Amino acid sequence: MRDWLETPSGRYLAQWETERLAQAVADMFGYHAVQLGLPSIDALGANRMPHRFVGAQTPEDAAHPQVAIVTDMAALPFASGSIDLVVLPHTLELSPDPHATLREVERVLVPEGRVVICGLNPMSLWSWRQRRARLMRRVGLGSLFLPEAGEFMGYWRIRDWLRLLNFEVESGQFGCFRPAVRSETWLQRFAWMERAGSKWWPILGAVYCVVAVKRMPGMRLLSPAWKTSRRLAGAPVGVSQRGQNRAGARVVGAPDTGAKAP
């Protein structure tokens, strides 16, 4: 995957993901943010949390200068409920156990913490070309268009997994609608398909980005009481009439006429 991102198609996809991730994480606040996998994509560059880390699992990614943690994605070295944001750029589709990785992400996230997931769409033109290339390779013809490693995971499948883990999907977006071509020149010629694809066939984009928030069943967030109630004990009682009350008590401020109450 890291080498494929250096191709024209890979740079085109990485540019879309970087822009979309910047929009997604820019307004997410907290203290700790973690990117797991693909350090060549700067997923946390637009985020403003004070503590941001990049984790890797493969030896190739571990050599990247931005990597601070080398770990198994299904056994993260973080305490439960200690991370505010986790970004997974193609991490699930490259993981040997993607469901275990997502469960581990749910464990380390704080309540109301967020996860951002990017993945290749198995219903796109790029994926169909990849399937055809695999069939042709069985007879010794052609080459793969996308990286051989990894398993395509559909957008709706990811949503179902998130729902089972008590996540609520906040947003989902598809991108990269240009055809599966290898040339930079042809990618530029099909630039018009970006706007047309997002309008007429949005679910056929080559890549998707999902933002979800961790919900805790039965938990209710309490907002601070900015206004305090005033104490009424000892407050003066307003009098709308002068004179005495029915019990014969003299009302404060009423003139003493010497008459008794009936």
Q: What is the CATH number of the domain that holds 119?
A: 3.40.50.150
Nearest Cα to 40, choosing from 147, 194, 157? 147
pLDDT of res. 198: 86
Residue 171 is assigned to a structural domain of this protein: yes
pTM as predicted: 0.80
Residue 240 is assigned to a structural domain of this protein: no
Q: Tell me which residue range forms the domain holding 19.
A: 4-214
Is a pLDDT exceeding 50 seen at residue 230? no
**Residues making up the chain, counted from first to last:** 262
Residue 233 is assigned to a structural domain of this protein: no
If pLDDT is split at 50, 70 and 90, which confidence band does 22 have?
very high
Residue 237 is assigned to a structural domain of this protein: no
Residue 200 is assigned to a structural domain of this protein: yes
CA distance 163 to 230: 45
Sign of the CA dihedral running 162, 163, 164, 167? positive
159-175 residue pLDDT tens: 999 999 999 999 999 99
Which tokens is 161 given? 């997994």
pLDDT of res. 12: 95
Is a pLDDT exceeding 60 seen at residue 88? yes
Nearest Cα to 53, choosing from 74, 19, 76? 76
Report the percentage of the chain scoring pLDDT > 90: 59
CA distance 120 to 59: 23
Is a pLDDT exceeding 90 seen at residue 138? no
Phi first, then psi: give them for residue 231, nearest 5 degrees. -80, 130
Q: What single-letter DSSP state applies at residue 198?
A: H
* Total count of domains within the chain: 1
Which tokens is 209 given? 């980005």
Residue 258 is assigned to a structural domain of this protein: no
Which tokens is 253 given? 């401020």
Nearest Cα to 154, choosing from 174, 170, 134? 174
Contact present, 119 and 105 (Cβ < 8 Å): no
Q: Any idea which of 27-31, 156-160, 214-218 has the lowest mean pLDDT?
A: 214-218
What is the residue type of 229? S
Is a pLDDT exceeding 90 seen at residue 26? yes
If pLDDT is split at 50, 70 and 90, which confidence band does 142 have?
confident
Report the pLDDT averaged over residues 198-213: 93
Calculate the dihedral angle through the C-alpha atoms of 28, 32, 37, 42, rounding to the nearest 10 degrees: 50
Token pair 């961790």 is found at 214
SS3 of residue 35 by DSSP: strand
Residue 32 is assigned to a structural domain of this protein: yes
Nearest Cα to 152, choosing from 108, 94, 198? 94
